[in-house]
């Protein structure tokens, strides 16, 4: 006889079956993030504004006063300021996704609580990514606003910057969640940062143009989502090109790919 | 149902049916497979073999819909500590798709007796308040079935009694409860039926009084004394076919009413208890 474990109740009137990717589940998980964010938003906002200010003062004003006047016809301060959007995006998406996910899962048991409710791993990961990308998409625009404060002329194309930041941040939050689900110990994030985050950040074309790099590095930069974001942000400030459509499509594909990988890795980690 | 983790068999041929409206205590020592069973029931673990139905839903395929109608109170405190009491409840009311979140939060605050502390962050609450909040969070959507996973483990006696009162109120409302515990007293006080779990399977099940009558008889004689005296009493009881178990500094001669006049003069005779059953069946000392 097949063994059965059952909790029996009298059936009620045909209850609705929950579907995949229910908006209520995603909104519920995001509401948890918003409630927590209300307790720490001041510190996050302060650092998001201060960091680009300090970088612009150090690199933009410092270097442009001594070594570099302009790059490809763009004043160096504006070149760095627009590039720093990508820096803000990766640091406000990949890192919070890595550390936040790890802490919530391993130390706070938050995901055990959420997955005991009618939420599945796909909805949980999607909500986490959407929240981080929303936040990062917003904070990612701060360096651009600071650069405008330093003299960059506003342009209509810049209105698309939050969208570019959001999509890129989706990709990096998926990357971060996947890494958090993969590493065994929190110290192992050092490898992730050294092997992925720092190289991506340095060869994005933020501080120097990549066409000065060796050919292999230029090819590698083309598959760096941060480089594509840098180019799109500069397109918004200094004029788009048709190739920017391809760049945007690449970022969308990056986000979709990391979304699925993050779900797979988290399912492996969370479901016994 | 069976579930293994590498070389470890956590659940081994578990066969369990919980009728509507009762509180079933899943009583077993640490490592018996109780928590794994709870995770299987919420779809957070997938059985290697067997069949699992919860509230007419097949698991794991319909686990999410089943969870919609059940409440889970975990063993570990996983509240959001920086967030207010009412926000903790509101988040879960939303996750459970409760139509009127405000009303659900009010009811849950009343259950947890935390109306006055609603705007305080959780990390400002006492341990007892946090456990009450954890329980109320699992009830915020008025579930048909509540899973209580070791609801009072590690709590001091006063907080434990508070929790028992709340669980008693939940029982009185007719909610079906499946409660895992390794505390005998908790199972005796709260469970209509007890299923003794050991090494991943149910080894006995029934109302506490039935289990006691079946396995331990009517009375138990406890003998205290130095090791030589205990060894002597044990040998004599066993030679008469009586069951003997360790009981801290004593030995307990179970079913001593069948001793045919043997009970030692220095023994303390008491009514047989669920603890006798638990120790006899599992071979583990009770908490």
Q: Tens digit of pLDDT for each residue in A28-66?
A: 999 999 999 999 999 989 988 888 788 888 876 777 666
Angle at B103 between CA B100 and CA B104, to 5 degrees: 80
Mutate to test the interface with B, among A15, A117, A119, A272 (most CBs of B within 10 A): A117
Residue with tokens 């959780």: B122
More confident residue, A109 or B29: A109
Q: What is the pLDDT of residues A138-182, one digit of tens each?
A: 999 999 999 999 889 999 999 999 999 999 999 999 999 999 999
Q: Which residue has the tokens 């209300």?
A: A38
Q: What's the complex ipTM?
A: 0.88
Q: Is residue A170 part of a domain?
A: yes
Percentage of chain A surpassing pLDDT 70? 93
DSSP letter assigned to residue B121: B
pLDDT value of residue A2? 46
Q: Do A25 and B80 touch (CB under 8 A)?
A: no
Structure tokens at B141: 């959507």
Domain of A133?
Answer: 86-141+152-270
From chain B, pick out residues whose CB is under 8 angstroms from the CB of A116: 42, 44, 67, 72, 74
Q: Measuring CA to CA, which residue among B209, B281, B217, B223 is closest to residue B255?
A: B217
* Alpha-carbon distances, residue B162 vs B64, B129, B151, B166, B175 (angstroms): 31, 10, 11, 7, 19
Measure in Å the smallest separation between the Cα of B102 and chain A Cα atoms.
14
Spell out the domains of chain B, with CATH numbers in brackets: 2-207 (3.40.50.300), 218-271 (3.30.70)
Quote the CA–CA distance of B284 and A37 in Å, as a whole number: 47
Per-residue pLDDT band for A9 (boundaries 50, 70, 90) equals low
Closest CA to A132 of A158, A167, A159: A167
Among A27, A28, A112, the residue with its CB nearest the CB of B74 is A112
Q: Which residue has the tokens 């506003």?
A: A154
Test B78 with A108 for CB contact under 8 angstroms.
Answer: yes
Task: Domain count for chain A, please give it.
Answer: 1
Determine, yes or no, domain membership for A112: yes
SS3 B218: coil
CB A102 within 8 A of CB A180: yes
Where residue A1 falls among pLDDT bands split at 50, 70, 90? very low
Q: Decide if B95 and A118 are in contact by the 8 Å CB cutoff.
A: yes
Euclidean distance between CA atoms A210 and A199, whole angstroms? 13
SS3 content of chain B, % helix, strand, coil (to 5): 40, 25, 35
> In what helix (H) or strand (E) does residue B198 lie, and over which residues does it extend?
strand B193-198
Dihedral sign for Cα B74, B63, A174, A178, please: positive
pLDDT at A11 over 50: no
Band of residue A73 on the pLDDT scale cut at 50, 70, 90: confident
Low-confidence ranges of chain B (pLDDT < 70): 261, 285-287
Contact A105, A183 (CB under 8 A): no
Q: How far is CA A214 from CA A39, A204, B123, in A?
A: 46, 14, 54
In a domain, A69, yes or no: no
A20 has a pLDDT exceeding 50 = yes
Closest-CA distance, B47 to chain A, in angstroms, reads 9
Contacts of B248 (CB under 8 A, 6+ apart): B285
Residue B287 pLDDT = 59
């Amino acid at each position: 006889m097949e063994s059965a474990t059952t909790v029996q109740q009298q059936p009620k009137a045909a209850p609705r079956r929950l579907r995949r990717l229910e908006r209520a589940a995603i909104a519920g998980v995001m509401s948890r993030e918003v409630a927590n964010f209300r307790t720490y938003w001041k510190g996050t906002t302060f650092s998001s504004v201060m960091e680009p200010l300090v970088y612009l003062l150090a690199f933009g004003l410092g270097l442009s006063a001594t070594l570099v006047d302009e790059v490809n016809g763009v004043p160096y301060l504006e070149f760095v300021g627009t590039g720093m959007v990508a820096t803000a995006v990766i640091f406000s998406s990949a890192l919070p996704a890595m550390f936040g996910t790890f802490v919530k899962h391993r130390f706070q048991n938050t995901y055990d609580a959420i997955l005991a409710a009618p939420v599945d791993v796909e909805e949980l990961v999607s909500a986490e990514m959407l929240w981080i990308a929303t936040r990062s998409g917003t904070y990612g625009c701060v360096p651009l606003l600071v650069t405008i404060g330093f003299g960059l002329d506003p342009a209509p194309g810049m209105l698309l910057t939050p969208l570019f930041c959001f999509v890129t941040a989706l990709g990096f939050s998926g990357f971060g969640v996947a890494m958090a689900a993969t590493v065994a110990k929190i110290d192992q994030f050092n490898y992730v940062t050294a092997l992925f985050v720092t190289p991506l950040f340095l060869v994005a074309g933020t501080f120097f143009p990549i066409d000065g790099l060796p050919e292999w590095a230029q090819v590698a930069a083309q598959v760096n989502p941060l480089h594509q974001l840098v180019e799109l942000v500069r397109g918004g400030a200094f004029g788009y090109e048709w190739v920017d459509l391809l760049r945007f499509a690449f970022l969308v594909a990056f986000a979709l790919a990391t979304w699925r990988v993050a779900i797979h890795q988290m399912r492996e980690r969370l479901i016994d | 149902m069976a579930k293994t983790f590498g070389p470890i068999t956590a659940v081994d041929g578990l066969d369990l049916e919980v009728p509507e409206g009762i509180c079933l205590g899943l009583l077993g020592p640490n490592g018996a497979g109780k928590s794994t069973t709870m995770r299987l029931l919420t779809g957070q673990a997938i059985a290697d073999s067997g069949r699992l139905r919860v509230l007419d839903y097949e698991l794991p395929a319909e686990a999410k819909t089943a969870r919609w109608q059940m409440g889970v109170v975990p063993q570990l405190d996983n509240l959001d500590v920086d967030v207010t009491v009412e926000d903790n409840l509101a988040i879960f009311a939303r996750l459970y798709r409760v139509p009127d979140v405000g009303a659900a939060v009010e009811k849950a605050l009343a259950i947890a007796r935390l109306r006055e502390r609603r705007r305080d962050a959780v990390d400002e609450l006492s341990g007892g308040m946090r456990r009450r909040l954890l329980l109320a969070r699992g009830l915020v959507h008025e579930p048909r079935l509540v899973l209580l996973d070791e609801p009072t483990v590690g709590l001091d006696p006063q907080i434990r009694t508070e929790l028992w009162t709340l669980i008693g109120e939940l029982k009185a409302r007719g909610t079906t409860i499946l409660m895992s515990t390794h505390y005998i007293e908790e199972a005796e006080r709260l469970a209509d039926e007890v299923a003794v779990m050991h090494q991943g399977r149910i080894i006995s099940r029934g109302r506490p009084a039935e289990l006691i009558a079946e396995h331990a008889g009517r009375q138990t004689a406890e003998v205290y004394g130095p090791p030589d005296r205990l060894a002597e009493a044990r040998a004599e009881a066993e030679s008469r076919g009586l069951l003997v178990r360790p009981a801290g500094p004593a030995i307990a001669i179970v079913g001593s009413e069948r001793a045919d006049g043997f009970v030692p003069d220095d023994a303390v005779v008491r009514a047989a208890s669920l603890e006798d059953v638990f120790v006899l069946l599992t071979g583990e000392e009770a908490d």
